[in-house]
Structure 1
């Protein structure tokens, strides 16, 4: 069977299973992986085995990182470290720039913490700000949303971008760095939309006001520097490994120095090491501030790991799907199509990554599933193709596409509506266009960087 036809059958299997039959994404992706692998060439005895191999490789690559990130997020929330970061930004920027402070806080907190948790955490603060000013409630909600969704979809260790980096073979440190670079202008443009939307469609606050934290409680929170450590430290450690590795091959004058530093940074800058250290610090903060019993500490870890388990399964199933697609030989077919008449294959791949992710996201609602599914397909397609830029830009294009066309099948839509107190119509006119604007800005930034800074 032709590889393109197998690809279409695999995509259809995923979409029909999730949308029409409400099948769990893990089962849908594994089912599609088995179908594609059976239809692909090869020894019948190894066709199912390569599905398991692809699943195992991906789980081994990302499973520990996702689990540790879940523990970090839970411990930061329970210890009060997240609240301290909120207070730090408010003190730094002042009440006059409270919306900017909310956005900046969401940007930083969403690096290790899932977006829905960040939104739940910051929503009471947005309500208390509105109670003080009696204005700009929608601006507060959208400001923290634009920053939170940008980092959640573009920056590892969140499962979507982490799975994308693994499927495309992108160094995790580089994915973190370029994810932040693309997320920052996306969040800023989203903030400008928030200001305009609040002026043209102000909404009242319809949910009860609950005090975010009393002044006495704020005094008992961790200090700002220890609170920031679980967020900043893993980023710095992972980046150190990426930077030293790049300088080792490009800075001939100091090659011996970078070669000597390489064993150290390769150890401390490995994502597992970096996030493990971060998890230890986050749990230490929790233990120091809350004085939990051993059972309470164990329950915190178990709750976070149980939530991470299904995410790991979905990401690994996406890896199995991608491995099965590679076995079809789809990469050489796509390469041949480019050679026969596509005038700008580099641009075509980026736009294709964006559009495929957008379609899958609109169809089934989950940005993570859309990213993982598309990355599996694109990873197989571009294998062996000479592109004029680094594959990290395919990753940021996929992540940007996952923000498009969010509607009622997206859990984030309902979190914004119900927690924020917006009607469905108001959510359609604020949340949905905001995410699309953030995604389009991410694509534009990706196209610009791929042209000006190809990293080749």
Structure 2
């Protein structure tokens, strides 16, 4: 038995066991992802040949303690940013800032380009706001437009979901892209800029496919709208955009300056461009808009912040647990095992990253879990990516697109879209599932091509 555990290929068995454990606990037994991921991380430690820690500490104890250490390491890097992103999202919803952005886009583009406006709204708002919240916000507009024009309901629904899904998967500060950037040790500002750029072609593909499905299928509007007593007061457009733009601008300036100066960014730029500071600035603006438009006192504002912070707490637990699980997979020696197994033939790491992420997403349903786990596996394999013929950012984006692939019944996002839009399960499979598959495959194709044309090394 000792010879088997200490063999060069044992990490593959550890990886397979860990993935199966996560999938079975989440999909079969409906165990909460946080508990499932932490239990799987401990299980991986128990069957791994080596676990970090003092040799004087028994292996069984290290197998339990190390996942807790890794959990804390990940939480320390992402908890503050995720909490602030939740506050920005809630504040933009409650203050009317999100509605103001959408109204401006639709008004500027006109009814004939409403689908494009809805896609752009989802694309922009899903950067600081979680996917399901964005869909809840925008679906009434799709229903209203469809009832008014007597057409294009499928197009409007898919435009909203497609735009929101893209940035949710590849642009921080949403949890998946954020933890991928931390795990792969890629600059956050660069990740934001690359994610926005890489999302353009898949967004175009999403809109094109949505138009074709809209022409081929006939799905009526089956859901009604909830009447509101008063129209919410909306802030000015510039004020509405600031909570989203300010963090992106500050982080991006610091990243660009870092590249241009050879890692000698002035302290003042580095400070304001730090993700924790930049997100805090955006949060202050968002909370100010919330308090101003709703006439909230300081006490009322902080009481209202409790709910989004509670939601953020759950996301932080799941994300950090996923990081701990991925770290334990890395400690198992999977990187060396994959390298040994593939030394006699070439394997394209962008395709490999996409396939692992897509397989994880299909099996257990969560894009975030798929992205977290896959990024840890790929980091164990490529490290910082210094030896790759292209920038490791391509690996990050491939993981993000893979995490979109095949959204079906085990994906909470599938049910959000189906229930809120009034689609049946079969209709959602024919539209939403196909749409995300097209986005994921388009994203992969462009990354493989660009890695040769623009390696950015």
Bin of the TM-score, shorter chain as denominator length: over 0.9
Secondary structure at the counterpart of residue 405 of structure 2: coil
Match of 2:344 in 1: 341
Count of residues in Structure 1 that have an aligned counterpart in Structure 2: 440
1:301-340 matches, within 5 Å, as 301-338=305-342, 340=343
Match of 2:277 in 1: 273
CA–CA distance in structure 2, aligned partners of residues 298 and 12 of structure 1: 42
Query: Does the 8 Å CA contact 1:335/1:382 hold for their aligned counterparts?
Result: no
CA–CA distance in structure 1, aligned partners of residues 300 and 446 of structure 2: 44
Deviations 1:403-443 (A, max 9, x none): 11111111111111111111221111111100111111111
CA–CA distance in structure 2, aligned partners of residues 213 and 173 of structure 1: 42
1:23 paired to 2:36: no
Match of 1:40 in 2: 49
Match of 2:19 in 1: 11
Secondary structure at the counterpart of residue 67 of structure 1: helix
Deviation at 1:316, TM superposition (A): 1.0
1:372 paired to 2:381: no
Deviations 1:105-124 (A, max 9, x none): 11111111111111111111
- More displaced stretch, 319-328 vs 379-388: 379-388
1:447 paired to 2:451: no
Secondary structure at the counterpart of residue 304 of structure 1: helix
Q: 1:297 aligns with which of 281, 285, 301?
A: 301
Deviations 1:299-324 (A, max 9, x none): 22111110011111111112212222
Match of 2:235 in 1: 222
1:351-370 matches, within 5 Å, as 351-370=351-370
Query: Does the 8 Å CA contact 1:124/1:212 hold for their aligned counterparts?
Result: no
Query: Does the 8 Å CA contact 2:185/2:384 hold for their aligned counterparts?
Result: no
1:73 paired to 2:77: no
Deviation at 1:193, TM superposition (A): 0.7
- More displaced stretch, 178-187 vs 321-330: 321-330
What's the TM-score once normalised by structure 1's chain length?
A: 0.92
Query: Does the 8 Å CA contact 2:44/2:328 hold for their aligned counterparts?
Result: yes
Query: Considering only aligned residues, what root-mean-square deviation do their CA atoms show, in Å?
Result: 1.8
Secondary structure at the counterpart of residue 266 of structure 2: helix
Deviation at 1:337, TM superposition (A): 2.9
Deviation at 1:233, TM superposition (A): 1.0
Deviations 1:348-370 (A, max 9, x none): x2112111111221121111111
Match of 1:287 in 2: 291
Match of 2:381 in 1: 381
For structure 2, the 5+ residue unaligned runs are none
Deviation at 1:213, TM superposition (A): 9.5
CA–CA distance in structure 2, aligned partners of residues 119 and 287 of structure 1: 24
Deviation at 1:210, TM superposition (A): 4.6
1:241-280 matches, within 5 Å, as 241-249=254-262, 259=264, 261-280=265-284
Deviation at 1:384, TM superposition (A): 7.0
Deviations 1:232-290 (A, max 9, x none): 111111111111111112xxxxxxxx84x531221111111111000000000011111
Q: 2:247 aligns with which of 234, 238, 254?
A: 234
CA–CA distance in structure 1, aligned partners of residues 113 and 334 of structure 2: 51
CA–CA distance in structure 2, aligned partners of residues 40 and 167 of structure 1: 23
Secondary structure at the counterpart of residue 406 of structure 1: coil
Match of 1:255 in 2: none
What's the TM-score once normalised by structure 2's chain length?
A: 0.92
1:155-170 matches, within 5 Å, as 155-170=171-186
Change (3 A) 1:114 1:213: farther
Q: Which structure dedicates a bigger proportion of its chain to helix?
A: 1
Deviation at 1:131, TM superposition (A): 2.1
CA–CA distance in structure 1, aligned partners of residues 311 and 258 of structure 2: 34
Secondary structure at the counterpart of residue 305 of structure 2: helix
Deviation at 1:32, TM superposition (A): 1.7
CA–CA distance in structure 2, aligned partners of residues 36 and 193 of structure 1: 41
For structure 1, the 5+ residue unaligned runs are 250-257
Deviation at 1:379, TM superposition (A): 1.9
Query: Does the 8 Å CA contact 1:128/1:212 hold for their aligned counterparts?
Result: no
Match of 2:409 in 1: 408
